[in-house]
Amino acid sequence: MIQFSLKCSNDHRFDSWFQSSEAYDKLARAGMISCTICGATSVDKAVMAPRVRPARSATPPTDAPDKQPPTPLAAQATTPAEQALAALRQHIETHSDYVGRDFAREARAIHEGEAPDRAIFGEARPEEARRLLEDGVPIAPLPFMPRRKTN
């Protein structure tokens, strides 16, 4: 796996992982890479600094701050688009039920009146989502991956 810093024609910058450099090139030629912020398909690799790990025997600098716990996503957001996305995620996770991989079945049951009407979110395979749309079930993709709830 390789991580690339990408930039769209609207100067939005984001990172994405690819199986290899060749995989990126193949997807880019097919127009299958789009900006995570605006959806533009004109995306190029941005200049990025290499990640270099210190040697295992290296000692950490004495002025290194104590390790802090991770900050919430909303606090990490720096651009207005990132802040809006973080707020959207927070709203969806607070006001909707996570149904996981049962999303397609549950969305269909709600649409047909077999389950109580409520806001849900979860995961569906592309062919399941396509069938829901063809059957008139109102769904929309989320601009983020749901956090999987385990145990």
Q: What is the pLDDT along the chain (151 residues), one digit of tens a residue?
A: 788 889 998 888 888 888 888 888 898 888 888 888 888 888 888 877 666 777 776 666 555 555 555 555 555 667 888 888 888 888 988 999 999 899 999 999 999 999 999 999 999 999 999 999 999 999 998 887 777 655 4
Query: pTM of the predicted model, to two decimals?
Result: 0.48
Sequence-distant (6+) residues with CB within 8 A of 138 are 111
Sequence spans of domains, the chain: 2-45, 73-134
